[in-house]
Amino acid sequence: MTAEDNSCDTSDNDSGCCSVKNDESVNFSKHWRGVYAGSDISKLGWYEDESTPVLELIDACNLEKQAKILTVGAGATTLIDSLVQLGYGHLMANDISSYALEALKRRLGDAQEKITWIVDDITNPDILNEVTDVKLWIDRAVLHFFVAEKDQETYFKLLKNSVAKGGYVLLAEFNLNGATKCSGLPVKRYDAALLASKLGSDFVLQKAFDYIYTMPNGDKRNYVYTLFKRIF
* % of the chain residues with pLDDT over 70: 79
* % of the chain residues with pLDDT over 90: 68
Whether residue 45 is predicted with pLDDT greater than 60 in this model: the reply is no
* 59-113 pLDDT per residue, tens: 999 999 999 999 999 988 899 999 999 999 999 999 998 888 998 999 999 999 9
* 220-232 pLDDT per residue, tens: 899 999 999 999 9
Whether residue 16 is predicted with pLDDT greater than 70 in this model: the reply is no
CA distance readout (Å), 148 to 31, 90, 94? 16, 32, 21
3-state secondary structure string across the chain: CCCCCCCCCCCCCCCCCCCCCCCCCCCHHHHHHHHHCCCCHHHCCCCCCCCHHHHHHHHHHCCCCCCCEEECCCCCCCHHHHHHHCCCCCEEEEECCHHHHHHHHHHHHHHHHHEEEEECCCCCCCHHHHCCCEEEEEEECCHHHCCCHHHHHHHHHHHHHHEEEEEEEEEEEEECCCCCEECCEECCCECHHHHHHHHCCCEEEEEEEEEEEECCCCCEEEEEEEEEEECC
Q: Which of 8-12, 62-66, 134-138, 226-230 has the weakest average pLDDT?
A: 8-12
pLDDT of the residue at 25: 53
Instruction: Categorize the per-residue pLDDT at 127 as very low, low, confident or very high, splitting at 50, 70 and 90.
Output: very high
- Rank 16-25, 42-51, 208-217 by mean pLDDT and report only the highest: 208-217
The upper half-sphere exposure of residue 146, i.e. CA atoms within 13 Å in the direction of its Cβ, equals 19
pLDDT of the residue at 29: 62
Whether residue 52 is predicted with pLDDT greater than 60 in this model: the reply is yes
Whether residue 133 is predicted with pLDDT greater than 90 in this model: the reply is yes
Whether residue 17 is predicted with pLDDT greater than 60 in this model: the reply is no
Mean pLDDT (whole number) for 103-129: 95
Whether residue 24 is predicted with pLDDT greater than 80 in this model: the reply is no
Pick the CATH number of 46-230 from 3.20.20.70, 3.40.50.150, 3.40.50.620, 3.40.190.290: 3.40.50.150
Whether residue 10 is predicted with pLDDT greater than 80 in this model: the reply is no
Whether residue 1 is predicted with pLDDT greater than 50 in this model: the reply is no
